[in-house]
Amino acid sequence: MSYEVISDLLAMGGRYLRIRHTSSTLRCDMVFGVFLPPQASDDHPVPVLYWLSGLTCTDENFMQKAGAMRMAAKLGLALVVPDTSPRGEDVADALDGAYDLGLGAGFYLNATEAPWQMHYQMFDYITEELPELVKAELPVTDSWSISGHSMGGHGAMMIALRYPQRFKSVSAFSPIVNPMACPWGRKAFSHYLGDDESTWQRYDSCYLMAQITDPSGYPPLLIDQGDADNFLLQQLLTENLDAPLDSAGYSAEVRMQPGYDHSYFFIASFIDDHLHFHAEHLGLLD
């Protein structure tokens, strides 16, 4: 696959790269970020944590604000951070400039409605094209975990529930757990997927969790949510996940963190916990 390294910086003894490639799935150029820890080499490939970011973010927010590289370097864990939507002059955007639809708001699904379906195929990009490129071109193994924040937490959970055998573990900060029931999700789903709500179900973590009859084949889950998050009650709906988790008997820890909000200060405060969680399930702490 053709790609271009647009920056390559030394960080924490490893390398922070930004890579541009032409995506056949999204029909545009895409940029993603990679942190390769100092342990990574062609002779010593390392496991990967995919991170999915939230509304309005690009590939850069997590890398610059989360403070994840130091612990990832210590653990020997690669980080791969895609963009949150397709980009480019020909890519559809919200006509009113809304932050929760269009550019920066791909919701990690495959759009079926015009004008979105031409480019907004983020589910296939995240689950197929990007991992193929990463595996082919970077010193990484087939051991993957996935995490994310807000819209990205929704994406990480939903993707792991649909492809449980691909991931050793899944975690989320402030995830949108029930997008079919919140304003952000309903707006995005109705535009991208149309009015038939039965087509929304495959992108809703609460619905997917409720369908599980045998949780043994699913990756363990860690969620951190701040109780001072101003999006908690209307958009994130964390409590809606309680019943599906219980009915499925799913291996999960949901931690309500007193006083924390929705910001990257929250993520930076607990990112080491999440990296250790993934490192354990990726076999890096044996």
Catalytic residues: 150, 229, 262
Q: For the chain, how are helix, strand and coil distributed in percent, rounded to 5?
A: 40, 25, 35
Q: Which residues contact 281 (CB under 8 A, 6 or more apart)?
A: 145, 168, 169, 219, 220
Task: DSSP letter for 162, please.
Answer: H
DSSP 46: E
- The sign one gets for the Cα dihedral 276, 277, 282, 286 is positive
123-126 LR contacts (CB < 8 Å, sep 24+): 123/159, 123/203, 124/25, 125/23, 125/25, 125/26, 125/30, 125/82, 126/50, 126/52, 126/82, 126/155, 126/159
Rounded to whole angstroms, the Cα distance separating 170 from 158 reads 10
Q: How far apart are CA 225 and CA 88, in angstroms?
A: 33
